[in-house]
Structure 1
Amino acid sequence: MIRTNLLPFLLFGAFTYGQVGINTSNPHATLDVKAKNTDGSSSEGIIVPKLTGDALFSAIAANKYGADQDGAVVYITEAAAVANQTGQTVLVNDYGFYYFNGSQNQWMKLGSGSTIYRTDGTLTGPRHMTMDGNNLGFTGGRIGMGTASPDPSALLDLTSTGDGFLPPRMTKAQMEAIFHPATGLMIYCTDCFGDLGCIMVNDSKDPLVTNWGSMCTTNVPTGHVDDLQCASAVTSGGVHSGMAASGVTTTIPYTGGNGGTYFSGTFNSTGVTGLTANVDGGSLSQGNGNLLFTITGTPSAVGTASFAITIAGKSCSFTVDVDNFTASVASLTCSSAVFAPNSMIQGEVYTGTLTVPYTGGNGDSYSQMSFTQNGLTFTLPAGTLATGAGNLVYNVTGTPTNAVTMNLPISFGSQSCNVSKLVSPSGSGVGTTMCMGNGTKVWASHNLGADTSLDPHVPVKEISGNFYQWGRLDVVATPDSPAGAISGWNTISASDGAWNSGTEDVPVKTAIDPCPSGFRLPTRKEWVAFANNTTSNTIGSFNGLYTSFDSARQFICAANGNKLTLPVPGYRTYSAGATYAHNTNGYYWSSTENAAGYAYGIFFNNSNMNPALVERRTVGCSVRCIAE
C-alpha cells in the first residue's frame, strides 16, 4: 500500500506546497519524515545508500561524483583498501557516514566508529577535559595533567599540590635486565644500596654499555675511581684448605674517588674455588681511599684463589693464598667452657671472653678466626697452641639482640663442639636452666615485676613481684598494694587462648602475654614437668602475716645443681582483689585454661604442692616466665 500511494502523495506535496512530508500532511522542511509508530512496534528511520570504500574508489574513474553531487550522503560498510585511500577516497579509512564535499572533490567523514582508541587523528585546537575535578589539557602540542594550561617550556606538565610523580619501580636485577636502555631512562630501584632504594638514571650514551647513576637523598653521583690498585691488596686472616674462611678480609686501595655511590658486589674465586669476596655498597671518598672485601666460603684445595673485581667503573684482580692447616688438637671440651663475665642480657653491651679447654695441642701456630651470632662477634686471635692441654680464648664483643639460649659452634682443625649460653631478656634478671624430664628449660630467675638486681634466692618483699589476672596484660596489684579489696576489680574472665594461641605441646605466645621478649607464660604441662623433675625445700617462717615476706619454696635440679626460688606472696581474691594467704601459699599462673572461667597454675605451701591447680581466672596470682 505504501509503494502504491507514496508517489502520488509525494507529488501532491511537491505540487501543493513545494515540500514533502512522509507520515505527515504538514511538512516543516523540504523533506519532513515523521515516525509511523513511536511505540517501538515498527522499524523507523532513514536508510541511505550503503557502499564499500572500494566502490566509491571505483566511481572516481567513471567521474560519478563532482560538484553536482555536493552534499551526497552514503554509509560506508568497509574502509577502502589502503591502496585505494587516495583522491576522493583518501579519508575513507573506516566504516560510518560520509558526505561528498564538491568544493574539495573529496569524501568527508560525517560520523563513524572512529575514536582515539581505534584510529590515529589530529586535534585541531586546544582541548581541556576534567574528571572529578582533575584536569587534562592539550595546548600547543603540550600535555598538562592537573592543569588545563601546561607551561610553554614543558612538553609534559604535571601539576599537583597533593600528589607526586611515581616512576616505574623495580629491583636492581630487573633494572639491569632492561634491554638497551635509552640515555636518560629513569626508574626507581627498590633494593639498591642495601635495600635503601633510589631513583636511578641511565646516563650512558652507549645503549650497549649502561651506566645507572643514583639520585638518592644524598644527591651523590655514581661512583667512579681513577684506579683500583689490586697489586697493593692487603689480606688479614688466614685461609686454610677445607676449612670455612672466618674473619678474613682484603683491603684494596683506590685513587681518584669522586665521592659517588657504588653497589655491593659478590665475586667468586677462580684457581682455588669455593671462596667469595663480598663488598658492601656505599660511598667513595673524595680522592684516595680503600675498599674492604670480606672473604667467605670453604676453599677447595691448597693454592692461590684469584678474584676478578669490578667496582666504580674499574676492574682488577687480587689473590689470596690458601694454606694447609697444620695446627691440631685431640679434643675440645665445650662442656667446661667459661664466659667471663658470666651474665649476658638482651640489649646490653657485652665485652668479655669465652674460654674453651682443649687437649692434645701440637704446638703449631694458627691464624685469627671469628664468627658472629645473635649480635655478638667471637674472635680467636692468631696464636700458637700449647703442646698438650691448653685453652682457646675468644674475645666476645657486641650487643645480644635476642633473649635465647645460643648454641655456639666451636671448631678448630678437625675437632668441633657446641657451647650453650643463655641470653637473659632485658628486665628479667639472669635466667636459670632447670630440669624438665626430657631435657632442660630456661626459667626467669625472678618473678615478673621483681627487682632483678637482688638475689633471687633470698626472700624479701622486693622479689615478690606483681599480681596478674589470668589472660590479662595489666598488673592488678603489687607487694605494696593495701591488703583489702581493690576498687574497680575486674570480675569478667578472660577468653580461652588469651595467653597461648597454640597448644600445650606447641605453645605460641600472644600479644597480651606479660612476659618480656624471649619469654612467655609456662603451660600446665611445663609446670608439672618442672615439679616432677626437681626436688624442693622451704625457706622462711610461712607465718601468714601480711607484713612478712621471708618465705619461699626452692626447687633444685639434680642434674646441674641449679636452683629456682619461688616466693609465697599469696594471691588476690577473685571477687574484689583482697589479699589471701600472704606469706603462706604460692600461686603461679600457667597459660593453660580449664573450664569456662577457670585456668591452671601451680600451688604450694610449706607442706603441700599441686602443679596443676585449677583456679578462677579473675584471681590475681604471681607469674614466673619461661624461655620461648
Structure 2
Amino acid sequence: MKNTILLPLSVLISFGAYSQVGVNTSTPKATLDVKAKNIDGSSSEGIIVPQLTGDALFSAIAGNKYGMDQDGAVVYVTEAASADNQTGQTAKVDDYGFYYFHGQHDEWTKLGSAATIYRTDGILTGPRHMNMDGNNLGFTGGRMGVGTSTPDPSAILDLTSTTDGFLPPRMTKVQMNAIFHPAHGLVIYCTDCFGNKGCIMVNDSTNPLVPEWGSLCSSNTPNGDVLALDCSSATTSGTLFAGSMVSGVNTTIPYSGGNGGAYNAGSFISTGVTGLSATIAGGILNSGNGNLIFNISGTPSAAGTANFAITIGGKSCTFSVPVNPFLGSITALNCGSASFTPPTITQGETYSGTMSIPYTGGNGEAYGQQQFSFNGLTFTLPAGALVNGNGNLVYTVTGTATTAGTMSLPISFAGQSCNVSKTISPSGSGGGITMCMGNSTKVWASHNLGADTSLDPNPSVVTQGLHGNYYQWGRIDSVADTYTPAGNISGWNTTPASNGAWNSGTESVPVKTAIDPCPSGFRVPTRTEWTALINNSTSNTIGTFSTSPTNFGAARQFNCPSNGNKLTLPASGSRHDITGALANRGNEGDYWSSTERSGAGAYLLDFFPGVINPAGSATRTPGFSVRCIAE
C-alpha cells in the first residue's frame, strides 16, 4: 500500500540524499528537520503531536495498540487518567503533559512534569534558593506549617521541631530604631541592646510614627534604659518650709522610651538649699513612657531652691523644688490638754483616729505636713495654716500599738516643744492572754466583752468599767451593760435562741457563727474549754463577795502556773430571764459557753465565793457576761 504525504504548496519540502525530510528548509539536518516559517511572530509555529486523554490511552491497552513497535511514540495528554485507570501502561498518567511510550517497560512515561507545589505534594531533591529581588511574597487562606503537615488550627504559622529553634530578624539597636514605621507588635532580636547582652524586642506602640520598643528578655534581666528624662516637666506634691522636717512631699519626673528594664534605688543630695535628699526605690521601667517618683526628705537649711541632679536609666537631668520660708509661729503648745478620738488605744489592735493638741498665739501663716512614728503608730499633721490666736494641731493617727503602758510623744512645732502623755491599754478583746488548757495553752480575751479595754485587766481592785455587757444566749446584741439601772428592762425578750446559734460545729471542733458577739479572731468558748481552763489553773478571789448593785470590786482570778498569766473575771451577776432585772452583782459570776443544753437551755461557767462550776446550766434568756476565746 502506498502512503501519500499531502502538504500545502506554500510549504517547502526537501528530501535529502539519505531520505531526510525538511520542512521549510532545503537542507535538513536530521531525519525530520522542521524550521519556523516565520520568526517574527506573525504566524503560529510549532509541532502539534496527537492529543489524547489518559483514559483514551487506557482504552488502547485492551486492543494492544502500543508495544515495542511504538517504542518512543509521543503524545500530549490533555487530562490525567482517572484514578481507576492509573494502572498497567497508564499507571503513571496522573497529570496533563507530554508522554512517550517506553516499550521495554510497557508504560507511558512523562516527559518532564507539570507538577508544582501548587498542584501536588513532593520532596525537594536538593537545596533551593529564591531571590525575592525586592518583591513581596504573600500567602492568603489556610495555614503554613514547617516541620509539620498539619499546622495547628489556632496558628497561621506552625513551626514544629524538637531540635531547632526560631530566629527572628537580628539587628543592632541603631538598625532597630531605623525601621521605617514599625508595625504594632513587630518583633526583632536586638544584638547589642543591654550592654551587648541582646534581647528580643517588640514594638508596643500603636502609633507607627512613635515606636516604643519593649524587651522580652527572660534569661537576663535588662538594665533600665530610657531615651530621655524630662526634669523640666517635674511636678511636686506637698510643700517645703525652711527649718521644718519634710513629710509627704514627692516629685514626679516623666520619662520616654523606657525599655522595661530594671533600675536601682537611688538617693540624690540637694544643692542650693541643702539638707534634703530625693530618694527613689528600685523598680522596673515601663516599655515606653512613664513616671519616676522621688520622695523628698530631710530638713531644708533655708528658704530658696533645692536642686537635685538625678541619673536613671542611663540619662541625667536636674529638677528643682522651691523651699518656702517658715512664717508660722505660735506662743505655746498645750500638750497637757491633748485629746485622742477615739480615746482608747489598745495594744495589738489597729487604731485609726486623731490627736488634737491646743496651741495659743497662732499668726495665721501656712505650714507643711509633718509626720513621725512612735510605738507602731504613725502621727501625721497635714499641711495647713494656723489660725490667728488659739487653735488646735490635729494629727491623724494610724497603726497598731506594739507596747502597752504610758508613752511620751515628743511634739515640736514652730520652735515650740512639749510631750503628749498617752496610755496604751493592754491587749483587750482584740488582743489576749495565754492561759493553761491542759496539754496546750489557749489565748483568751483579756477583758469581758463590752468592758473598757483601756483599764488594766488584772488589777488589785476591780472597778465598774471591767464588768462589761450582758448577753442573752445565742444573740449578737447586748441586752444591758454595767451602767444599766438595776430594775426591770421593758420589752425583755423571753424567746430562747435556736440550737447552734453560737456554734455551727461540734463541741470538740467549734465553728463561730455570724451572730457570735465576739470580735474578729475570737468566739464564745465551749463548755469543754471553760472546764479545761478551770482544771488547769489555780484561782483566788479579789474584793469582798456580797450582793449589791454597787459592788463592782468582787472577782475570781485564774492563774496559769506555767507562765504566770492571769485571767480576772468580775462577779458581774446577771439579768433576770423574765424581767431583765439585775441579780447577784458582787456575789456571783455567770459566763456563757456556746454549748447548748437540751430543753432550750445552755451551759455556762458560774462561781460563788467558795464554788466554781465550769458546767453550770440555765435557760437561754437571762443576761450573762461573755469572755471570748481565740478561734
TM-score (norm 2): 0.38
Greater radius of gyration (CA): 2
